[in-house]
Structure 1
Amino acid sequence: MQGGDEAMKELILEVEELEQRIAPGSASNGSS
């Protein structure tokens, strides 16, 4: 499957953004 890694990276980034939007400050990494 071509671009599998890229798709996974994009999905992870989207999930992280959604989690931060849903629960800001609740994430363990508050360095950003």
Structure 2
Amino acid sequence: MVKVIIDKEKIRDMLFMCGIEQMEIMASLFR
């Protein structure tokens, strides 16, 4: 049960980091 919660946190962190990378890529394209 605890492992699932940790995995969810990891997935959320990974998605958050990917989102930041995507935004940086978009920003560099529009610059």
Q: What are the ranges of 5 or more consecutive residues in structure 2 without an aligned counterpart?
A: none
Over the matched positions of the two proteins, sequence identity in percent amounts to 8
Structure 1 stretches of 4+ moved >4 Å: none
Scaled by the length of structure 1, what TM-score is found?
0.65
Which structure has the higher relative contact order (CA within 8 Å, separation 6+)?
1
Higher helix share: 2
Q: What are the ranges of 5 or more consecutive residues in structure 1 without an aligned counterpart?
A: 25-32
| Structure with greater Cα Rg | 2
Give the aligned length.
24
Scaled by the length of structure 2, what TM-score is found?
0.66
RMSD: 1.3
